[in-house]
C-alpha cells in the first residue's frame, strides 16, 4: 500500500518556511556520531508520555514507501501510537523508552530505544533548505562520520507529491550506543505536512539484516504527524 500524502501546498510552504540558508545543524555531538552533522548539544532526559490514539496520516512498511498517506493503515502488531511531548505523533515499537537531547534548531532530538538499547528510533528537525541539501552536507568531507561508515544507498524519493530522500548505511560503532557489531541504519529526511523538514532514523544490528530497521522506519513515517499539524485526521473509535 502506498503511503504518499497529497501535499499540494507543501512544496511552496516548505520553500517559505525553510528557505533561509543555514549552517550544518543536524543533531549530534560535535562529529563522530551517527549521521546527522556536528551541532553541539547537551543531553537531557524527559519523562515518557502515555501513548494515545492516532489523529493523522500514514501507509505500509515497504522498501518503496516514502511518506505518510491520507489513509492510516492498520498498526502492525507490537507497535503503539505515541503523542510525543515535542508535539508530533509517531508509531513506535511497544515498550521502547524515550530520551531527548537539546538541539539548537527546531524540536529537541528525540530517541526511542529498545530495552536492550540495541535498536533506536530517532526524530529531529532539519535546518537545511531541503532533504537533499541536508544529505549533501552530511556526506561531504567536512562532516565527520561514525567509525566504519559505509554508504550503501541514497535514494531521492521526490514524486511531485512528496519531497524526501533516504540514506542507508553501515557503521562499526555509534557514539553513545552499545557495541552490537556493525550497525545498520536507515535515515530519511523529508518535508512534512507543516512545511518543515524532519528526519526519522532507525538503527539496529546488521547481524539480523536491515528488514527490521526498515519496518521500524516506515511504520514511524506512516504515522508521523508534525508538531504544527497539517495531517488528515484519523477516525477514532
Name which residue leads in pLDDT, 70 or 201: 201
Mean pLDDT (whole number) for 208-222:
95
Nearest CA among 62, 89, 65 for reference residue 231: 89
Ranges 49-53, 96-100, 139-143, 195-199: which has the least confidence:
49-53
Task: For 213, list phi and psi in degrees, rounded to 5.
Answer: -65, -40
C-alpha dihedral (1, 84, 102, 218), degrees to nearest 10? -10
In this prediction, residue 232 carries a pLDDT of 61
| This prediction's pTM | 0.71
Number of neighbouring beta carbons within 10 Å of residue 175: 14
Which pLDDT score is estimated for 145? 96
pLDDT digit string, tens, across residues 109-121: 999 999 999 999 9
pLDDT(227) > 80: yes
Give pLDDT, residue 66.
43
Contact 121, 146 (CB under 8 A): no
Instruction: Give me the chain's average pLDDT, please.
Output: 77
Q: Is the pLDDT of residue 87 over 60?
A: yes
How far apart, in whole angstroms, are the C-alpha atoms of residue 203 and residue 214? 9
Tell me, what's the pLDDT at 117?
A: 96
CA distances from 87 to 18, 84, 132 (A): 19, 6, 25
Give residue for cell 504518499.
4
Write down the pLDDT at residue 233.
60
Q: What pLDDT does residue 229 have?
A: 81
Nearest of 52, 6, 56 to residue 229 by alpha carbon: 56
Say what percent of the chain tops pLDDT 90.
Answer: 62
pLDDT surpassing 80 at residue 224: yes
Lowest mean pLDDT among 5-14, 88-97, 223-232: 5-14
Amino acid at each position: 500500500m502506498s503511503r504518499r500524502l497529497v501535499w499540494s501546498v507543501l512544496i511552496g510552504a516548505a520553500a517559505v518556511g525553510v528557505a533561509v540558508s543555514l549552517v550544518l545543524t543536524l543533531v549530534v555531538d560535535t562529529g563522530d556520531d551517527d549521521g546527522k552533522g556536528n551541532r553541539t548539544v547537551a543531553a537531557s532526559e524527559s519523562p515518557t508520555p502515555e501513548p494515545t490514539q492516532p489523529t493523522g496520516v500514514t501507509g505500509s512498511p515497504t522498501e518503496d514507501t516514502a511518506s505518510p498517506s491520507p489513509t492510516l493503515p492498520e498498526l502492525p502488531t507490537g507497535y503503539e501510537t505515541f503523542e510525543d511531548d515535542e508535539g508530533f505523533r509517531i508509531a513506535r515499537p511497544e515498550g521502547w523508552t524515550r530520551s531527548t537531547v537539546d538541539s539548537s534548531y527546531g524540536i529537541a532530538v528525540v530517541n526511542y530505544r529498545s530495552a536492550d538499547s540495541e535498536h533506536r528510533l530517532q526524530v529531529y528537525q532539519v535546518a537545511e533548505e531541503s532533504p537533499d541539501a541536508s544529505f549533501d552536507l552530511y556526506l561531504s568531507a567536512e562532516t565527520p562520520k561514525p567509525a566504519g561508515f559505509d554508504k550503501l544507498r541514497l535514494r531521492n524519493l521526490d514524486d511531485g507529491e512528496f519531497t524526501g530522500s533516504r540514506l542507508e548505511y553501515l557503521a562499526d560503532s555509534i557514539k553513545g550506543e552499545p557495541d552490537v557489531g556493525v550497525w545498520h541504519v536507515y535515515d530519511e529526511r523529508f518535508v512534512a505536512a507543516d512545511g518543515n523538514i524532519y528526519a526519522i532514523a532507525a538503527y539496529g544490528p546488521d547481524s539480523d539484516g536491515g528488514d527490521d530497521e526498515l519496518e521500524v522506519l516506515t511504520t514511524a513515517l506512516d504515522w508521523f504527524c508534525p508538531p504544527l499539524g497539517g495531517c488528515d485526521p484519523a477516525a477514532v473509535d
